[in-house]
Amino acid sequence: MTKIFTDMKRLIIIILALIPFISSCKKENETVSMEQIREIAWNSLSEQEKTSVIGDWKQAPVTESTYNQKSVYAVRFNTTYDTLLGPITVYIDTSTKVVLGQALRD
């Protein structure tokens, strides 16, 4: 009976020790994924659009949204023309990672 209790204690300690490693791996994968999404969006921009982007494009906000009834990532790039036209928003399909289009700029 004592051996079973000792073995159970060891198992619990091992599981508790592994939890931080498992949870940090998930966060790292999510970060890499958002970096990839930003890069896909950036590469879809024309050279003229790229030159108008202000700030670091690698820090562009990525949010989940819908576009033509599809689940998408929306990547927003602020530009020098935001006061006239608004930011550039690129929509990327969440499952295929394909650019579906851009939001209309006013």
Q: 47-73: per-residue pLDDT in tens?
A: 999 999 999 999 999 999 999 999 999
Place 12 in a pLDDT band, splitting at 50, 70 and 90: confident
From the list 68, 66, 65, 103, the residue with the least C-alpha distance to 87 is 103
Q: What is the mean pLDDT of the chain?
A: 85
CA 95 to chain centre: 12
Domain interval for residue 87? 2-102
Contact call for residues 62 and 42 (beta carbons, < 8 A): no
- How many domains does the chain contain in total? 1
Q: pTM for the full model?
A: 0.71
Per-residue pLDDT at 24: 55
60 or 5, which is more confident: 60
pLDDT beyond 90 at 36: yes
Could you tell me which residues come within 8 angstroms of residue 68 by beta carbon, excluding any fewer than 6 positions away?
A: 100
Which residues does residue 93 pair with via DSSP β-bridges, in sequence order?
A: 72
pLDDT beyond 90 at 20: no
